[in-house]
A and B are shown apart, each in its own frame.
Chain A
């Protein structure tokens, strides 16, 4: 597809379980971002990849959160021992490299921890 694709669109999991959220960026986009958005709030930065490496992971809230991008394209956000406070919409965005380039967002994955 032409846009950023995120799967699944919705995920319900039990407290304490492990989840993986996937992001397929736009082909050719070297920069990839993960954000978390709680109801009524702006997207909160989690991590930024440039190619395969995490250029900035300062937004990850704790060591239960981890993200990979092994081949510089698809990225997976992994959350261990999920907590109810992790419930949110997780957004992925991608862009071409450069400070003046537009970031395109996916539709997000709505994660609910029960």
Chain B
């Protein structure tokens, strides 16, 4: 079945440094890749997404890259701030509209 893997499971960075989270997916028909941020006690919130016809997308301090051949996609956060601390989930949407999530990365930004 469909599967999304995510690494690392935990990540600790100094404020101002960059953070990178990497994901792989198994369903080659997947064509939409959202990234969600989840704070304690809240539902996941979309922070950026990328579609299969695009290799890279940037929104201020956040960027995503997609390599469809290798079935890899990554989230890059630059100039990290303490408020970036949260759990981040990558996901892949299959051709049947099912959204499969990775296991999550707990990011801590140390002031």
Where the two chains meet, the residues of A that have a C-beta atom closer than 8 Å to any C-beta of B are 4, 31, 33, 35, 40-45, 48, 50, 55-56, 58, 91, 93, 98-108
Contacts and interface: CB of A to CB of B under 8 A. Distances in A.
Interface of B: 1, 4, 6, 31-32, 34, 36, 41-46, 49, 51, 89, 93, 95-104
Contact of A55 (B43, B93, B96, B99): B96
Contacts of B49: 102
30 contacts: A4-B43, A31-B97, A42-B6, A42-B101, A42-B102, A43-B89, A43-B101, A45-B99, A45-B100, A48-B97, A48-B98, A50-B97, A55-B97, A56-B96, A91-B43, A91-B44, A99-B32, A99-B93, A99-B97, A100-B31, A100-B93, A103-B34, A103-B46, A104-B46, A105-B36, A105-B45, A106-B43, A107-B43, A108-B42, A108-B43
A102 B35 CA distance: 10
The 6 A-B pairs at the shortest CB distance, nearest first, are namely A105-B43, A42-B101, A42-B103, A43-B101, A42-B104, A100-B32
